[in-house]
Amino acid sequence: MSLIPLSLARALICIAILLAGCASNAIYRSNYQPCTVSSGNACEQNSLHIYNPGADNEYTLGFVEIDDQGQIRDRRQMHALLDMLYAKAAQESVLTTVFVHGWHHNARPGDPNIEGFKENLAKLSAIEARLSEKLGRPARKIAGVYVGWRGESIDVPPFNYLTFWDRKSTAQDVGHLGIGELLIKLEEIANVRNAMQPPVRSRLVVIGHSFGGAVVYGATSQILAGRFIDSQQGKAYTGDAKGFGDLVVLLNPAFEALQYSPFYDLAQSRCSYFRGQLPRLAILTSEIDDATGILFPLGRIFSTLFEEHDDLVRTDCKHTLELDEGEADRSTVGHYEPLISHTLKPLKDGRSMLAATLETMESIWDLQTPGGSTRFDDMVLTHLNRTVPQNPYLNIRVDKEIIDGHNDVFNEKVMKFIRLLIELSTVDVDDDRDNVVNEYDECPKTAENSVVNDKGCAINQLCSCDVKWKTPGDFVSCTSLVSDGFLRAGLIGKNERKNILSAAVRSGCKNKKAGR
């Protein structure tokens, strides 16, 4: 009996190791009932978690798992999450944050990405509680959604690094199929709540890391383009650029710069933005991310070998872009220099710079200048003057002291920056401080301490003496009708209404000229 050749034996051993090291393709969270996490119960099999009930850092976390073909593994799991969020949004406003993990991660209990996401949700909840007390408004409840997919097909090091390009293909399927339905339904939950005109709006933020960034970009890119233009019948104006949900954040994303260049062109074709334009897409890439800076281009060299590429020159709004399509097709979006719009570095000097905080973020964001810098805690965001200030698409190169490589995305520095962006993008602005946010306020510039209805209008705005009335009686009739509505709504008392009517009779508003 002949012996098996040594080379063949080694090959068989390697194959056996690889087969034994195949990552699980089963669902991790198979119990779809809500579970309150405690020191004695980690709720590892549950897809719906409740943390710290009644505390300032209370939050909920739900899991949705997707298979290698981009399909929702069990639609009951997704519907359990959506049902819970619909019920919550019917009672109170919610800030929902979605996280889509990347390479080497999944929905397995104890995954480092899950733990980092949980910590960030708890801090967001504490921030909301603090802002609620400071601004005198209800706190939004914090809900997290962790989208799990098979970020690794082989668990055994170093063979798991060979899965990079295999997982890239899977990420494309996940982005183009099941996750799109999930994200749109999550946005619908926020919109349904906001249709009730709550005192504070529900919000949606989507974050993707690595191939999870590719997943999110694949699922939202066409929606972003459509909402940026916002073409609609009868529209005769250019307003703020809208996005998907309230903010999309991509951390060390693993997709080609060439896929992003049309959006760069789209945003650049608009030469100015209104004050108050908020960021809609923020891409953050570490300068030392070897996975997207070295491994990704190596793989793309072979897959683009027989493709034809051109050199393009754009000169929109006096900003010149020289686009090498070949290099852009081989490089990730965060490592292609011509498309980088900002840098984020540690604060080394200039400590006298006004820092953007939760309270000052909005006003400082409006003051951006070409080539200027903005301080975020102990970090500095610098505009590279390649785009127009207030451009809603940010492609940020991040210093290694802030993101130290591919997987260092849940450290406190970068999370603090992202939390500031989230609060900026989800702020409810109430310029006249009448407790009706601008988006719902049909009567801006209400006088201080005025009693207003749910549309932000005071009686003297609905029946204004600045309007030219045919007779004094018309003005009095208007005041009588509107004040009766305020009385029935419990906004004013009978004596207050009596005084308002007496003042209307004495006003003589017939002789006033139209002021608007």
Other Cβ atoms closer than 10 A to 181: 13
* Residues 182 and 78: beta-carbon distance below 8 Å: yes
DSSP codes joined into one string, 381-400: EEE-SSS-TT-SEEEEEE-T
CA angle 419/425/429 to nearest 5° reads 120
DSSP codes joined into one string, 121-139: HHHHHHHHHHHHHHHTSPP
At how many degrees (to 10) do helices 164-176 and 211-229 cross? 30
In the block, tokens 């903005």 appear at 374
In the block, tokens 């005198």 appear at 136
In the block, tokens 């891409």 appear at 283
Residue 107 carries which DSSP code? S
Cα gap 48→83, rounded to integer Å: 11
Q: Tens digit of pLDDT per residue, the chain (516 long)?
A: 455 565 555 555 545 554 545 666 789 999 999 999 999 999 999 999 999 999 999 999 999 999 988 899 999 999 999 999 999 988 888 999 999 999 889 999 999 999 999 999 999 999 999 888 887 778 889 999 999 998 776 666 666 666 777 778 788 888 887 799 999 999 999 888 877 767 678 889 999 999 999 999 999 998 998 888 875 555 555 678 888 999 999 999 999 999 999 989 998 888 888 877 889 999 999 999 999 999 899 888 888 888 899 999 988 888 888 999 999 999 999 999 999 999 999 988 755 566 666 666 666 777 788 888 888 888 999 999 999 888 999 999 999 999 999 999 999 999 989 988 887 877 666 666 677 766 667 888 888 888 988 788 999 889 888 887 888 788 889 999 999 999 998 999 999 999 999 988 888 776 544 433
CA distances from 134 to 225, 355, 369, 421, 434 (A): 36, 19, 30, 19, 15
Q: At 200, list the tokens.
A: 């504070």
* Residues 25 and 67: beta-carbon distance below 8 Å: yes
> What residue ranges in 136-218 does DSSP mark as E strands?
141-148, 203-209
Beta bridge mates, 98? 145, 206
Query: With the C-alpha atoms ordered 231, 235, 239, 243, is the resulting torsion angle positive or negative?
Result: negative
Rg (CA), the chain: 27
